[in-house]
Amino acid sequence: MRRTLLLALALPLAAALPPSAAAQTPSPAAAAQIDSAMLRPGDAVRIQVFRQPEFSGEFPIGPEGTIQHPLLADVSVVGVTRSVVRERLRAALSRYERDPSFVFAYLYRIAVGGEVRLPNLYTLAPETTLGQAVAAAGGVTEFGRLDRVHLLRDGQELVINLQRPDGATAGMKVHSGDEIRVPRRRNLLRDVLGPLGAIVGAVAAVATLTR
């Protein structure tokens, strides 16, 4: 009876806490990695301001490095840590509310192409893995090759096996500006015999015309 009462009191309290308080506190190393993540032009920021719907939503980062929002257009968020972004957002929102209560999240711009069903540019959370990014693009086509996925990151090209990923590969998260390309699986009939047959047919047609 007493345990049931305690649970009944604890559940509403946990629901009332903001997400940062209800979630488990990350380790110092994880917290440092999260804070060091930086945005680039083309990325986006998702902002939720308590009782201020006009400030809430997903807003892209313009070429100047500022948030494309009419009331936050002077907030520069590129090339600085998350803690700096938080303070700049707080200062900007304080112009409209004395003590603003808000949360924000990064969304990275990622290109996913090649043999996927929906090749496009996507805005994905930093926690998204490479496999999840491919899934966001509708998954691979029947010709897609997951064992040699090409990842272009910061001017370097990596070949990743997402078909049977090891521990390090399975946990790889997307970075801002990543380009993920799923190559096409080679098929003897389609890639060799098909074009060869077309060439033979063309030669035969030319020979018939020259008779």
Q: Is the pLDDT of residue 203 over 70?
A: no
Domain-by-domain residue ranges, the chain? 37-100, 108-182
108-182 topology per CATH:
Outer membrane lipoprotein wza fold like (3.10.560)
- Residues ≥6 apart with Cβ < 8 Å to 4: none
- Residues ≥6 apart with Cβ < 8 Å to 88: 75, 76, 77, 80
Distance, CA of 16 to CA of 93 (rounded, Å):
23
User: Residue type at 202?
Assistant: A
Neighbours of 205 (CB within 10 A): 10
Chain segment 122-162, per-residue pLDDT in tens: 999 999 999 999 999 999 999 999 999 999 999 999 999 99
Q: Tell the residue number behind the tokens 């970075």, with chain if given.
A: 175
| pTM, full prediction | 0.72
Distance, CA of 9 to CA of 24 (rounded, Å):
20
Distance, CA of 39 to CA of 62 (rounded, Å):
11
Q: Which residue did the predictor score with more confidence, 7 or 124?
A: 124
Q: Architecture of 37-100 per CATH?
A: 2-Layer Sandwich (3.30)
Chain segment 164-184, per-residue pLDDT in tens: 888 778 889 999 999 999 999
